[in-house]
Structure 1
Amino acid sequence: MDQLYAEPRHSYPRVDDSPVVQIFSRPVGRPVPRRLSLALIGTYVPRKCGIATFTADVVEQLAEYHGEIASTVYALDDADSGAQYAGGVVRVDQSEIESYRATARQINEAAPDAVWLQHEFGIFGGPDGEMVCELIDRIAAPLVVTFHTVLSEPSANQRRIVEHLISRASRIMVMSAHGRDLLVDLYHAPADRVAVIPHGAPDRPFGREAAFKEAMGLAGRNVLMTFGLLGPGKGLEHAIEALPAIVACHPETVYRIVGATHPNLVAQQGEVYRERLVALAERLGVAQHIEWDNRFLETPELLDQLEACDVYLTPYPNLQQATSGTLSYAVALGKAVVSTPYVHARELLADGVGVIVEPHSSGAIAEAVNALLDDREYLMATRRRAYGEGRKTIWPRFADSTAALVQAAAAQPLAEIPLTATPGMHGVLAMCDGTGMLQHAIGIVPDRRHGYCLDDNARALILMNHAPALNPIDRLSWSSTFASFIQYAWNPDRNHFRNFMRFDRTWCEDEGSDDSNGRGLWALGDTAEHSPFPDLRDWARHLFDQTLRALDGVESPRAMAFGMLGACAVLRADGHHPQAEALIRRGALLLERLLAASRRPDWAWFEAVLGYDNPRLPQALIESGQVCGRGDWIGLGLATLDWIADRQIAANGLFRPVGSESFGQHHGQMPFDQQPLEAQAAIEAAAAAHAAAPSQRWVDHAVTAYRWFLGANDRGAILGDIASGRCRDGVTPRGANANCGAESILAFQLGYAALQPMLGERRTTQRAGDALAEDYHGPAATLAHP
């Protein structure tokens, strides 16, 4: 690993040159310039490795040229290194898995705009550094990954790790065009997310060798140089073997080998490699032509020593090496470089910028060096070409490119969208036919291959009961279609609803899941209470009575919660219904029992894991307590809703729903993938809580959850489209899932419908001059309130 790292010549486009973005039907516009906070993860100085220097360079150059980006460093380190870091640097124990988890929590609590991770297999714990996955899976902010090594022949585990990093990254930075091509072709990285950015290099004047040679006592001598951490991968033995032929022609030549032996090599073997090189020089009779500087030098002193150099050597035998910071620095300072054709050298030294020689050949090195020293005009022309190429990598350009990378990854502020803007219904109806609502879509196009399901048609019927933008004829027509689907889904032979139906209208099963049966009952209860059509209300009450048996013996908390919500609706509509009351009691007792068994000081929840539709459990208790006059149920519901609501609000005030990757994580929560169903549940549960115990807290929570649809989320992804009423299928680590399935569309529509009465109440109160007159501007989006 080099003492410094570098990337090739291609730079990432500036964010202010990006085109206007259009998502769905509404143009968003250019990003608004603002201050950004950045969490940088990697090794860091004073640790002696190339990535540590690279991370320090990033911090220094962003501070110098882009002060609007404030960086916090999370430094990977060994437990017993004893390294003393600067104030504000957070240490991460690279070998302890709990340290990664704690670091992820700390980063999420700090709520940076982006996280930038430096990846090299050897700096993370576990086989091939696989503990890095424990870290990135828990980080909510947009992730930028720099791959310092891209292997062309990875092991199965190395490939798995790289592909997982790619799947989480909003932007990727590599060190060479070759590395970019490998990521795209071999690891299937999205080409539009991979940037090749040169490592920064110093902007020093050209041609000051004489002064620096004088200062170092090297006046009048030809100076060859190699610097960086020493190890067998440097190929220095080949350069030493070339010295006899070089000094025979140019006896005034000295070869300066600058840099400490790599600390990992010292820990394993001591100074065996360096001692072997010294012995080789003595055996060849050139020891007096070599100067050893066995130190890890700070960058300014390294640059001073490099300025005294005439010819820089990188005789690396590993031709797959993607980057060499030492090479970038030598080129930027206008040195004639003789190098083997490893990846970075082939790209950077093309077109006469340097001299490429075959690997493992001391003769080729000697011939190339002598040619440069024999012909001073040739030497000077080579140096000037290198210096010109180096102008492309000076620090201001590096800082511009990396700042643009961070800005492109960070979620951008949004244009204003009124909270009262009514979503259109075209997106809903485009997913429907005479049978019902199709489940899935590819983009905005319905996917008939997956047919229909009771879950979505039950939700669609509920929407018909509440949607504000339908005329009575269309409302009745579509309500009848969805009601017919529910009716046909009932299988009296099994006393269960079926769930999945193929496009040819044949059923995939005789019994659907417990959850789908609960949703069927919920839709019937809601229709009995809210349908504007008396005939549909009568139909729903009758079928509800027939199908109550579907939840007999069911112990699934969500299925029971859905059924309880339907039963509450029936009781509100009829006032007395013994079977509905019995279902509510059984469900409430189940939730009480689960809560008692799972509760602990830091975990006020019904299960040891967080699943989907979580707020439905407290919502069912709250509504049940209201219709049955049970204040204890209301209290439990409010307390558990308060707990889950707190867990779904990020440190920056954004709604961050429990991610689907949390499923199965005991007492844990993962940020992705975020699904619209969770935002809808949060809004409707907050509405139930506000009805039971009016509080501005619940209005605020509902507004925050609804803004998640409009782009106030961890990726600034606009999911809900007001014009069409469609909704994307959620937020992934790389942004919005572009598909618009039925569940997502219905969640957006129903979330809007549930929010409006709360906003209407607020407007009425505001007109009365109540203290509820509060602006709802969130931290990540300026969304106009009514």
Structure 2
Amino acid sequence: MTPFRRIAVIGNSLPRRCGIATFTTDLERAISYSRSDLEVSIVTMNDHGQAYDYPASVVLQIKDDAIEDYVRAAAFLNAGRFDVVCLQHEFGIFGGEAGAHILELLSALSMPVVTTLHTVLAKPTAAQRAVMERLVEASSKIIVMANKGREMLRSVYRVPDDKIEVIPHGIPDFPFVEPDAAKAKLGFSGRSVILTFGLLSPSKGIEVMIDAMPLILERRADAVYVVLGATHPNLVRDQGEAYRESLMKRVRELGVDDHVVFLDQFVDQATLLEFISMSDVYVTPYLNEAQMTSGTLAYSFGLGKPVVSTPYWHALELLGDGRGVIVPFGNAVAVGKEIAQLLTDGPRRQAMRERAYAISRSMTWERTAEHYMVAFENARHGDWLKVVARTGPVAVAHSPAASDMQLDHFLSMCDDTGLFQHAVRSVPNRDHGYCVDDNARALLLACALNNPGETRLSEVLTARFAAFVQHAWNPDTGRFRNFMGFNRSWLEDRGSEDSHGRTLWALGECARRDASPSRRRWAAGLFAEALPVVETFGSPRALAFTLLGLDGYCAAVRDDARAREIRHALADRLMAALASVETPDWIWFEEGLAYDNARLSQALILTGMATEAPDYLAAGLRSLRWLMTQQTASTGHFRPIGTAGFGELRQAPRLFDQQPVEAAATIAACLTAWRAEGQAEWKAIATNVFAWFLGRNDLSIALVDPETGSCRDGLHPDRANENRGGESVVSYLLGLADIRQLARVNVSVTPSAALRVVGV
């Protein structure tokens, strides 16, 4: 599928003064900066007949109470062929009962909608619930900024978990600085600065903080509380500045005039960051628990500020485990005590600053934009799966996986010897040299790129992988060596059974599919020489890899009776392994799960098709279906077997670490099952598995960089492994090659009567 070119964001926009406008504008800028060829536009809401001097990024305005404007906006977005619409939802910014007018726009759109909920109501009115249910139905993905939002969407509104994404509020990527320079610039040198910023309204709890000032001043006489922000426009419209004046009166009555400063300003981001920089403590004394998102909190935390806050939902989540200080609602004594303690304890304050800054690096707008782009891709993917479910076997030309094949990183991982094993981030790591495992995989990739529609690897590079395999062959032992140092010295005289089997697999495919007739003959000859020893192997994966190789070899060398005998013998051994272990709830070949699991099932399915053996086929399909129950999260996304659980006896798979090799194996096995049975569900599963690479996974983190074709080495419990080694990049590219071929198939496949398996 082609990359996104046009994205529309619906919401408020600066210079309108509100938090949604700030968020929408920041999000539009962050997504625009993420790719130079991406066009991001804002469709903005205008309130109560107001008009604003909008920037060029705003391409259309909607009057909140004019239903015809919503209809006109939908027509504009459809005619403009936008790829996705991202709606910023807050009940108060749309017209109609409970903001129902926005549904007229959404219902007419022809592209996926991704909706960010800035508020999730725990106790909605009947009208609010009705609007929310229709909003969820119209959206391919729902984004909330805290896990509490996910919980409430599931429990209150029954939203499926796989429709929800949690993406924290973005923050500027600002350096970690001491407050002194900003204090001097803004006129607060020598003061201990407490800051609150944002639009003033009674829900912000400013009066509680004012009441706490006398207690703070007892311990820090230099303290000053800066309240930065204009009064909320709606409040000004209805009451004028009565609320601000009441706060100032309260200050005078407490005698803290010299220690509370009101700055009636709506500042730009650069000025705002200077004010946050000068603060020693940031405080959010909000009075309402049901505050799902606070941009002011996110920004201050992201600049490494110690935060004292009441326990509204966003603060509880962000500041838990000592990342900030939580105080009870409306308790001026508690607020004063905690702020005074922070202002008089420099080491504690500094430690809290450093921790907040370090933790918040994952929240920068750059990272937020990455997460949104993944959500957009998943939304497109989800729409495609709906088509599959509705229409049965269909072409997958619109699958998100059918993207361009970028080989830059793969090529950077190769030298004149072969493919390096490992990398330090994206830089090849020569310390670990090479292995035949990865160079065999690279030879498999070279064969896959001989398919129609792909750009072949250069003859020189393909020959290099073949030469590595040839050099790995040790005729004295009848085995392939595996590990080679960077100095081209072999580190062993024979490799593992699995590496031998994988090398045979590459040779079998090379014998069938290589572009060079001479190299096909070479591969067939070396395969035949290295095959017999496999009969002595005990590893089920070595048997499976060899069977995959035999599928290619036997198609290329049809008169090798001995190879056909070994093929049946190896398949029978896998069948025996399955029979000895299988129970109704454990349909597998071993007592535990390990790596490359789906290759065992794939080997039997392929062998069953090639030899017209229904028993092999049925066993392969049965075991693969069971394996998918173990590798599918309750939310529907792919969850590959984690390395932490390798070898555990009959235990549910561990969640981490998750590795690309498992995804590639599962994609190939599912597409093999589809070719065997012709059932569209296997195509849908394969595409869902590929989405794991793109970010539809437990951490919602994309593992691949589509611009370079690099792939991270896996998912840890809290992050992606930033190293991008040989196995990972080849696994991704093999999976991509499989999906790209699938995308070119425009008819469903019906299995022959001889291979139809009833009841599997």
Question: TM-score interval w.r.t. the shorter chain?
Answer: 0.5 to 0.7
Matching of residue 425 in structure 1 with residue 407 in structure 2: yes
CA–CA separation in structure 2 for the residues paired with 1:25 and 1:611 = 42
**Aligned residue in 1 for 2:462:** 479
CA–CA separation in structure 2 for the residues paired with 1:340 and 1:623 = 68
Structure 1: runs of 5+ lacking an equivalent = 1-10, 37-57, 75-86, 90-105, 116-141, 145-169, 178-195, 211-222, 225-298, 301-319, 351-400, 766-786
SS of aligned partner of 1:674? coil
CA pair 485-325 structure 1, distance change in 2 beyond 3 A: closer
1:17 to 18, 26, 30: 26
How far is 1:653 from its partner? 3.4
1:751 to 717, 735, 755: 735
CA pair 624-62 structure 1, distance change in 2 beyond 3 A: same
Q: Is contact 1:501–1:508 with CA below 8 Å preserved after alignment?
A: yes
Matching of residue 461 in structure 1 with residue 450 in structure 2: no
CA–CA separation in structure 2 for the residues paired with 1:751 and 1:484 = 24
Deviation track 1:319-341 (CA, whole Å, cap 9, x = no partner) reads x998764577433x8x9956897
**Aligned residue in 1 for 2:675:** 691
Aligned positions of 1:51-450 closer than 5 A? 69=144, 110-111=161-162, 113=164, 203=204, 206=207, 325-326=326-327, 329-331=330-332, 337=336, 342-343=341-342, 412-415=374-377, 418-450=400-432
462-471 vs 428-437, which moves further: 462-471
CA–CA separation in structure 2 for the residues paired with 1:33 and 1:475 = 42
AA of the residue aligned to 1:703: T
Aligned positions of 1:496-515 closer than 5 A? 496-515=479-498
RMSD: 5.2
Matching of residue 720 in structure 1 with residue 704 in structure 2: yes
Matching of residue 677 in structure 1 with residue 687 in structure 2: no
CA–CA separation in structure 2 for the residues paired with 1:209 and 1:673 = 50
AA of the residue aligned to 2:714: G
AA of the residue aligned to 2:30: V
TM-score (norm 1): 0.51
Matching of residue 526 in structure 1 with residue 509 in structure 2: yes
**Aligned residue in 2 for 1:584:** 567
CA pair 72-431 structure 1, distance change in 2 beyond 3 A: closer
637-646 vs 482-491, which moves further: 637-646
CA pair 706-63 structure 1, distance change in 2 beyond 3 A: same
How far is 1:471 from its partner? 6.6
CA–CA separation in structure 2 for the residues paired with 1:554 and 1:761 = 38
Larger Rg: 1
Matching of residue 452 in structure 1 with residue 441 in structure 2: no
SS of aligned partner of 1:455? helix
**Aligned residue in 2 for 1:153:** none
CA–CA separation in structure 1 for the residues paired with 2:496 and 2:685 = 31
Matching of residue 705 in structure 1 with residue 689 in structure 2: yes
SS of aligned partner of 1:761? coil
Deviation track 1:112-155 (CA, whole Å, cap 9, x = no partner) reads 8468xxxxxxxxxxxxxxxxxxxxxxxxxx9x9xxxxxxxxxxx
CA–CA separation in structure 1 for the residues paired with 2:421 and 2:437 = 9
CA–CA separation in structure 1 for the residues paired with 2:341 and 2:492 = 59
Deviation track 1:583-614 (CA, whole Å, cap 9, x = no partner) reads 32332222222222322222212223221111
**Aligned residue in 2 for 1:103:** none
Matching of residue 546 in structure 1 with residue 546 in structure 2: no
Matching of residue 760 in structure 1 with residue 744 in structure 2: yes
How far is 1:755 from its partner? 2.4
Structure 2: runs of 5+ lacking an equivalent = 1-18, 42-83, 90-118, 133-142, 177-194, 216-286, 289-320, 350-362, 381-398, 750-760
CA pair 656-695 structure 1, distance change in 2 beyond 3 A: same
1:638 to 617, 621, 624: 621
SS of aligned partner of 2:429? strand
**Aligned residue in 1 for 2:252:** none
Deviation track 1:273-297 (CA, whole Å, cap 9, x = no partner) reads xxxxxxxxxxxxxxxxxxxxxxxxx
Identity of aligned residues (%): 33
SS of aligned partner of 1:413? helix
CA pair 347-687 structure 1, distance change in 2 beyond 3 A: same
CA–CA separation in structure 1 for the residues paired with 2:369 and 2:508 = 49
SS of aligned partner of 1:448? strand
Q: Is contact 1:441–1:741 with CA below 8 Å preserved after alignment?
A: yes
How far is 1:522 from its partner? 0.5
How far is 1:529 from its partner? 1.0
How far is 1:567 from its partner? 1.3
CA pair 694-763 structure 1, distance change in 2 beyond 3 A: closer
CA–CA separation in structure 1 for the residues paired with 2:430 and 2:370 = 36
**Aligned residue in 1 for 2:593:** 610
CA pair 636-341 structure 1, distance change in 2 beyond 3 A: same
CA pair 336-496 structure 1, distance change in 2 beyond 3 A: closer
CA–CA separation in structure 2 for the residues paired with 1:717 and 1:321 = 26
CA–CA separation in structure 1 for the residues paired with 2:683 and 2:705 = 22
CA pair 204-498 structure 1, distance change in 2 beyond 3 A: closer
CA pair 444-25 structure 1, distance change in 2 beyond 3 A: farther
Q: Is contact 2:478–2:533 with CA below 8 Å preserved after alignment?
A: yes
SS of aligned partner of 1:451? strand
How far is 1:735 from its partner? 4.2
Deviation track 1:66-89 (CA, whole Å, cap 9, x = no partner) reads 998599989xxxxxxxxxxxx969
Deviation track 1:384-437 (CA, whole Å, cap 9, x = no partner) reads xxxxxxxxxxxxxxxxx9xx9999989951356854333123222221111111
How far is 1:747 from its partner? 1.4
Q: Is contact 2:144–2:165 with CA below 8 Å preserved after alignment?
A: no
Q: Is contact 2:678–2:748 with CA below 8 Å preserved after alignment?
A: no
AA of the residue aligned to 1:637: G
How far is 1:24 from its partner? 9.6
Deviation track 1:322-363 (CA, whole Å, cap 9, x = no partner) reads 8764577433x8x9956897558858999xxxxxxxxxxxxx
CA–CA separation in structure 2 for the residues paired with 1:207 and 1:701 = 55
How far is 1:709 from its partner? 2.5
Q: Which has the higher contact order (CA 8 A, sep 6+)?
A: 1
CA–CA separation in structure 1 for the residues paired with 2:680 and 2:208 = 70
CA pair 623-114 structure 1, distance change in 2 beyond 3 A: same
CA–CA separation in structure 2 for the residues paired with 1:704 and 1:560 = 28
How far is 1:672 from its partner? 2.5
Q: Is contact 1:114–1:409 with CA below 8 Å preserved after alignment?
A: no
Length, aligned pairs only? 479
CA–CA separation in structure 2 for the residues paired with 1:642 and 1:627 = 20
How far is 1:732 from its partner? 3.2
**Aligned residue in 2 for 1:573:** 556
CA–CA separation in structure 2 for the residues paired with 1:448 and 1:733 = 28
